[in-house]
Amino acid sequence: MRDNQVSEVLSVDQAGVALPTSAEHSASANPDAASDAITKPKPGRVPGNKAVWFAIYTEMTEFGVMFLIYFIAKVHSQEMFDQGPQQLNTLAGTLNTLAMLSSSFCVARAMVAIRRDAVRESIRWLWGTIGCVLFYLVVKIWEYLLNAEHGFSVYTNLFFTVYYYLTFNHFIHVIWGGGAILWVIIRLHYGAYSAKDHEGMEAVACYWHMIDLVWIVIFPLVYVLR
């Protein structure tokens, strides 16, 4: 019994230097192995950093103004905005919604993984996010091409002007966010983030969830409400 207890503590060599236990040696030999213990944020701590939240508030203000323009335009052209969604490809909008929700799920799982120091698992989840980003972009381009085939453009009427303004602006943000996710993957590959230090990754995750949230508002406004 005493021998078992002794084996659990750090052994000290003759020079007084602490030597790792067998459990620590095993952990160092498998740095990517996910443990059950998750490094939790401190209570009351805001995720990310001040810079990313400034960017998020700025972007949300921009989209908030766009949504305000949408409602003002709808009040003055109600019949046009009632007919507008019927002329869009609802399937494309639905697929884009599924892509955005799935991408945020992958980002959330990547954050859980990094808090367990499971770097490779975190990278795999982020590649899943990139897959969702590419799917979203392909579907959106396909949707724009279908609109062009049917003669719809930004100049068709007020509804399509607002539709293109909202969706193309979001399209650009998805590209920016996807680039940021790729940067995080590269930094993870080179060991820049760990369970104890992942603020930069957390900031990008916050920004990505903002992009997802904006689409969740755009989808019902543009494709569903009639």
**Residue whose token pair is 């799920």:** 105
Residue 122 within a domain: yes
Q: What does the pLDDT read at residue 7?
A: 46
Q: What does the pLDDT read at residue 38?
A: 62
Residue 24 within a domain: no
Residue 33 within a domain: no
Instruction: Reduce the DSSP state of residue 34 to 3 states and report it.
Output: coil
> How far is the C-alpha of 66 from the C-alpha of 172, rounded, in Å?
15
Residue ranges in the chain assigned as alpha helix (H):
2-8, 22-29, 50-76, 78-83, 90-114, 119-149, 158-189, 199-219
Residue 195 within a domain: yes
Which residues of the chain have a pLDDT value below 70?
Answer: 1-48, 226
Q: What is the CATH number of the domain that holds 137?
A: 1.20.120.80
State the total domains in the chain.
1
- Structural domain for 183, as ranges: 52-68+94-151+164-217
Q: Are 38 and 115 in contact (CB under 8 A)?
A: yes
Residue 45 within a domain: no
Contacts (Cβ under 8 Å, ≥6 apart) of 108: 205
Residue 10 within a domain: no
Q: What does the pLDDT read at residue 94?
A: 96
**Residue type for 125, please?**
W
Length of the chain: 226
Residue 27 within a domain: no
Q: What does the pLDDT read at residue 48?
A: 63
Q: What does the pLDDT read at residue 9?
A: 39
Q: What does the pLDDT read at residue 55?
A: 87
Residue 47 within a domain: no
